Amino acid sequence: MKYDVVIGLEVHVQIKTESKMFCSCPNRYGEEPNTLTCPVCMGYPGAMPVPNRKAIEKAVIAGLMCGCSISEYSKFDRKSYFYPDMAKNYQISQYDLPFCLEGNIKVEGKGFSGKKIQIKNIGITRIHLEEDAAKSNHYAACSGVDYNKAGIPLLEIVSEPDIASADEAYAYLTNLKEIMQYGNISSCDMEKGQMRCDVNISLKPKGRKEFGTKIELKNMNSFRAVHRAVEYEIDRQAEALDEGVTLRQETRGWNDERGETYLMRSKESAHDYRYFPEPDLMPVVFTKNDIDNFKADIPELPKAKRERFISQFNVTEYDAKVLTAEKAVADYFEKGAEHTKSPKLLANWMITDLLKEISDSGLNINEIRVTPENLAEMIEMINKKTISGKIGKTVLSEMFKTGNKPSVIVKEKGLIQDTDESSIEKYVDKAIEDNPSQAEQYRSGKKNVLQYFVGQVMKQSRGKANPQIAIKLLKEKLG
């Protein structure tokens, strides 16, 4: 292509708090419409906003995790606009003095197409805090407004125009979501509207410094939609430029079914919003000491955690990736690792068996009955050869069902591994006696028949024979 693609994202993230941004209504999803409201979030004249300290703290932590500097002096502003989802006709937001400025995220991972992304620094212009708007619902004969969402604390994270492809946009969003979830800032459940994204995109002839006219794409509600919309828009703009058409700055929507963007409106600019300082709220002042205290609270980022897992627990890069993909899984692993001498074995069991049980059951890791301590106890039993790996599978699914300790399950079900040579010898003799032709094959050089005999011994002992001892005896007896 003869154009460079220039993309900047504006991502909205609902902050996870007990109550809303400027009132004490609960911050919850999925309730009866207009049951979580009060004069403040309904925008009654004269109702006074009171800022939510927790939301401000989380905004600052989010900024620190994105490498931003935190302003010692910030304030809230009114952004005026007239629309049914904003009863006051202005939104409390931040204009020229937001909490967080000038950060960057080291983006890595994969694009939507699965293609690996070169590690890239994407600049963060600013992160500010505002209140969410209400939700408009459209019915056959009328429309309704649900104010339950009005006033939920909302972060806006604005990136520099550093993103150069649909895949990079996808990877940036994936990384940002991971950070927000790790920091317990937001659950980022896109189906619940907890993470939303506007895409600004323009093309310019390759190598030219000056940017082209940006088009803003509104209301993308999945990462996949972002990827598709960007691809579509690149083609559309390239075609227009090829034909010598001058693009105008405009806001476009995305029609997911048709796979097309469409014109919504020509873009408004900042002065249309008549920003001015919110007179009902004090400016927010942090001392250097406050900011240092916030810094002490920054949770470990996923990337740092992966690197630490590799060095501390001796797991592979792949293991570390799987174990840190969700913070809850990483926490589970770390808890378990405190109780075993073989964290690598624990990692294997978590990745191949536990996560499979979890996905089959449809539960999440916080809901399962297998505690990390109990799983670690089972790993120790395997390590000490009290049970075999094969028996371990039975024990684990029993733990999953009952939540019992592995030692209890093993005792109740008589699953302890048999390491007594003379009793294993009986199984070995029987296996050879029952399978003379296989024994002949082995003796004539087909050494892999040994696995068959091991299988027979395990079958007869119902999985309890120690496989190393069985192999040793089989080799001896088969000559």
* Residue 169, token pair as written in the block: 């946009």
CB of 301 to ligand ADP, least distance (A): 22
| Contact pick of 25, 122, 320, 365 for Zn ion (by CB under 5 A) | 25
Looking at the Cβ atoms of 44 and 211, the one nearer to ligand ADP is 211
Stretch that binds Zn ion, among 9-17, 37-45, 85-93, 279-287 (CB under 5 A): 37-45
Looking at the Cβ atoms of 212 and 392, the one nearer to ligand ADP is 212
| Contact pick of 9, 41, 378, 415 for Zn ion (by CB under 5 A) | 41
CB of 41 to Zn ion, least distance (A): 3
Residue linked to tokens 């539960």: 363
| Contact pick of 4, 10, 29, 38 for Zn ion (by CB under 5 A) | 38
Residues 131-190 that bind ligand ADP (CB under 6 A): 158-161
Is the separation of the CB atoms in 358 and 368 below 8 Å?
A: yes
CB of 18 to Zn ion, least distance (A): 13
Looking at the Cβ atoms of 22 and 90, the one nearer to ligand ADP is 90
Looking at the Cβ atoms of 157 and 354, the one nearer to ligand ADP is 157
Residues 402-421 that bind ligand ADP (CB under 6 A): none
Is 94 one of the binding residues for ligand ADP (CB under 6 A)?
Answer: no
Query: 426: burial class by Cβ within 10 Å (0-12, 13-18, 19+)?
Result: middle
Stretch that binds ligand ADP, among 31-39, 149-157, 199-207, 412-420 (CB under 6 A): 199-207
Is 264 one of the binding residues for ligand ADP (CB under 6 A)?
Answer: no
User: Residue 160 binds which one of Zn ion, ligand ADP, none, with CB within 5 to 8 A depending on kind?
Assistant: ligand ADP
Looking at the Cβ atoms of 18 and 373, the one nearer to Zn ion is 18
Is 6 one of the binding residues for ligand ADP (CB under 6 A)?
Answer: yes
Is 93 one of the binding residues for ligand ADP (CB under 6 A)?
Answer: no
Is the separation of the CB atoms in 247 and 237 below 8 Å?
A: yes
Which residue type does 69 have? S
CB of 224 to ligand ADP, least distance (A): 20
Is 381 one of the binding residues for Zn ion (CB under 5 A)?
Answer: no
CB of 92 to Zn ion, least distance (A): 13
CB of 267 to ligand ADP, least distance (A): 6
Count of positions on this chain that bind ligand ADP (CB under 6 A): 16
| Contact pick of 4, 10, 231, 357 for ligand ADP (by CB under 6 A) | 10
Looking at the Cβ atoms of 135 and 393, the one nearer to Zn ion is 135
Is the separation of the CB atoms in 424 and 409 below 8 Å?
A: no
Looking at the Cβ atoms of 218 and 405, the one nearer to ligand ADP is 218
Is 234 one of the binding residues for Zn ion (CB under 5 A)?
Answer: no
Is 8 one of the binding residues for ligand ADP (CB under 6 A)?
Answer: yes
Is 368 one of the binding residues for ligand ADP (CB under 6 A)?
Answer: no
Interaction site with Zn ion (CB under 5 A): 23, 25, 38, 40-41
Interaction site with ligand ADP (CB under 6 A): 6-10, 158-161, 200-202, 211-212, 214, 270
